[in-house]
Structure 1
Amino acid sequence: MKVAVVQMNTKSNKEENLQKAEGFIRQAADNGATLVSLPEYFNYMGEEAGKLANAEEIANGQTVELLSDLAKQNEIYIHAGSMIEKHSEQKSYNTSLVIAPNGKIIGKYHKIHLFDIAINGVSSYMESNSIEGGDSSEMVELPFGKAGMAICYDLRFPELFRKYALEGCNILFLPAAFTQYTGMLHWETLLRARAIENQCYVIAAGQIGSHLPGKVCYGNSMIIDPWGTVVARAPEKEGVIYAELEEERVKSARESIPCLTHRKPQYY
């Protein structure tokens, strides 16, 4: 299964963001990808006040209709990293979707762990001011096997990924808008750890560059194999990276170190 990971610099103009995403998806399909993964908030990244205005219903929404058409036209799976889904008059959901080649949604995940941080002298951010957290995990069936869905800050909570591994996943999705500061410190280390400890491929599509004052993302979108090897890494610009997912890599990791995903520890 050939996967494409899209790295973007999404801003506040949704129409332009969607046009850009469409171009990258078509490029990936033309290059033989059968699965295309987009980053977190791929269709809108702007001021907090604009989130509610740009939130959409999933059914019949502009973004989903576009992605559904692209999936059908190109006969591919699309992992819609995340978008802002309407929830209430005060808050939205940060929602990740997987769309099948028939244009149907086969996976829907609401970000569980919201990005509420305060780093003295560097930055502070409260995603929970505008986003309602999810309360359940989500897996989807792909030709390569099961895939577990997560978003950005979820990366710091290994229990979610362990759950996916124990339930038979071969792929872990982690679309993100990781900040420049924390990205330099932790992004690659945590991604590779999640791959190694769960013996899964990690598909991590990220945002890059400045999006609004005080919000700069780290980029470094990656595809990591079950041994923890970075098999594809995006350069410091928007674009698409590719890798072939190989069943043999999953099998060899699990047969060589059969203590991680083959049996459930007694304390779980």
Structure 2
Amino acid sequence: MTRIALLQMTAGIDPHENAATIADAMTEAAEGGARIMFTPEMSGLLDRDRARGAGNIVPEEENEVLATVRATADLLGIWVAIGSLALKGDGERWVNRSILVDDTGSIVARYDKIHMFDVDLASGESWRESNAYKPGKKIVTAETPVGKLGLSICYDIRFPAVYESLGRKSCDVIAIPAAFTVPTGEAHWHLLQRARAVEASAYVVAAAQVGKHADGRSTYGHSMVVDPWGDVLLDMGGEQPGVGFAEIDPARIAEVRAQLPSLANRREIAN
């Protein structure tokens, strides 16, 4: 059994404040016995005003939140799966990037969000992530204290091919950090998280943004851990930020895969 922690947060428009929130959560997680902590999508900056936020979006090597996480990870001896940071990429558009940091502060893996959130909701909310962010192209996994970890971000959850690919790589745990809107969260959040866990016969860890943010948006929360059978082990609710804990049991993964070997039984389908 490996103990993990999830940070449910209400990130704002000041990276310095967000960095302090994450560092404090890392201390709580380490003191609680967690080997690795997961943070939400856009942990370092959540600002829908792109003109205002642009000044805080810098290259990876200049990002204050990442530097704080790396230093604190080394100090406390804890891994951190940063759900994502908004960073300057190689071209005109930014990247929405997950970064995995080990217990010495070294960067182990990077994953750029593949699917851009370009939607018009019935609530009147309209989002065009692709106007500012360049989509990634590659599936990413890494070995961690909880086994093989597959990385994904928020809107990726609606595209089963991502999780089929991670399932083929025999991931033990899949991270799905998010900043889900309230309408889509109420409709689909729990359903999709459980489905992805069952499909991959893996644990799903979904650290989420929650509540009313400084930029005016509201997010759904309900940070979750789901086991390979689809049972919900942790649901942090939709009201308050904080740190939650859960246990990852490798024996449970093996048990489910032996009982229902869908990964082994998968067949290629001709077009």
TM-score (norm 1): 0.95
1:14 deviates by: 1.3
The aligned residue for residue 24 of structure 2 is 23
Code of the residue aligned with 2:20 in structure 1: it is Q
1:214 deviates by: 5.4
Runs of 4+ in structure 1 off by over 3 angstroms are: none
1:167 and 2:169 equivalent? yes
> What percent identity do the matched residue pairs reach?
32
Q: Is the 8 A contact 2:179 2:210 kept in 1?
A: yes
Structure 1 pair 16–155 and aligned structure 2 pair: CA distance change class (3 A): same
The range that moved more, 117-126 or 53-62, is: 53-62
Structure 1 pair 262–241 and aligned structure 2 pair: CA distance change class (3 A): same
Code of the residue aligned with 2:8 in structure 1: it is Q
Structure 1 pair 61–44 and aligned structure 2 pair: CA distance change class (3 A): closer
The aligned residue for residue 225 of structure 1 is 227
SS, match of residue 109 in structure 2: strand
Structure 1 pair 31–266 and aligned structure 2 pair: CA distance change class (3 A): same
Task: Choose the corresponding residue for 1:256, options 251, 255, 259.
Answer: 259
The aligned residue for residue 84 of structure 2 is 82
SS, match of residue 132 in structure 1: coil
The aligned residue for residue 59 of structure 1 is 61
SS, match of residue 186 in structure 2: helix
Structure 1 pair 61–12 and aligned structure 2 pair: CA distance change class (3 A): closer
1:110 deviates by: 0.4
| CA shift digits 1:221-257 (9 cap, x unpaired) | 0011101111011132000111110011101110111
| CA shift digits 1:8-43 (9 cap, x unpaired) | 001111111111111111111111000100001011
1:83 deviates by: 0.4
The aligned residue for residue 199 of structure 1 is 201
| CA shift digits 1:94-134 (9 cap, x unpaired) | 00010011211111000000110012343111011111111
The aligned residue for residue 111 of structure 1 is 113
Q: Is the 8 A contact 1:5 1:242 kept in 2?
A: yes
The range that moved more, 184-193 or 46-55, is: 46-55
Q: Is the 8 A contact 2:167 2:200 kept in 1?
A: yes
Q: Is the 8 A contact 2:16 2:64 kept in 1?
A: no
Q: Is the 8 A contact 2:149 2:172 kept in 1?
A: yes
Code of the residue aligned with 1:237 in structure 2: it is Q
TM-score (norm 2): 0.94
The aligned residue for residue 41 of structure 1 is 42
1:60 deviates by: 4.9
Structure 2 residues without counterparts, runs of 5 or longer: none
Q: Distance in 2 between matches of 1:27 and 1:121?
A: 37
- Say what the alpha-carbon RMSD is for the aligned residues: 1.5
Number of aligned positions between the proteins: 267
Aligned 1:150-165 pairs, distance under 5 A: 150-165=152-167
The aligned residue for residue 71 of structure 1 is 73
Structure 1 pair 263–132 and aligned structure 2 pair: CA distance change class (3 A): same
SS, match of residue 122 in structure 1: coil
1:237 and 2:240 equivalent? yes
Structure 1 residues without counterparts, runs of 5 or longer: none
SS, match of residue 6 in structure 2: strand
SS, match of residue 42 in structure 1: coil
